[in-house]
């Protein structure tokens, strides 16, 4: 089981966003050539995963819509493994 709280929504969001706050200390050069955070999330299917209160590149709480969009492939991966009950995407507490 994995629980992630307060993480950046995705590295793609950071790279494409016009403003980024306090993200450079966590950046791995070239990481997007290999994976992004939703890719890591999909790799743990079918184990339980909760992502709670992710932040956008500016450091504000990401919306539920942004979270659902970024993790749509993860939702599909859980669905394809009949493990949808194991995935929780929670933008708010």
Express each pLDDT in 54-82 by its tens digit.
998 888 999 999 999 999 999 999 999 99
For the entire predicted model, the pTM comes to: 0.83
Average pLDDT over residues 41-50: 96
Q: Is 5 exposed, middle or buried (0-12, 13-18, 19+ CB in 10 A)?
A: exposed
**Percentage of the chain modeled with pLDDT above 90:** 59
């Amino acid at each position: 089981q994995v629980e992630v709280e307060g993480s950046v929504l995705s590295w793609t969001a950071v790279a494409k966003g016009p403003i980024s706050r306090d993200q450079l200390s966590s950046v791995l050069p070239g990481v997007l050539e290999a994976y992004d955070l939703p890719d890591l999330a999909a790799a743990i299917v079918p184990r339980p995963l909760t992502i709670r209160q992710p932040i956008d590149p500016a450091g504000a709480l990401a919306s539920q819509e942004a979270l659902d969009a970024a993790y749509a492939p993860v939702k599909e991966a859980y669905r394809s493994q009949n493990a949808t009950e194991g995935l929780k995407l929670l933008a708010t507490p």
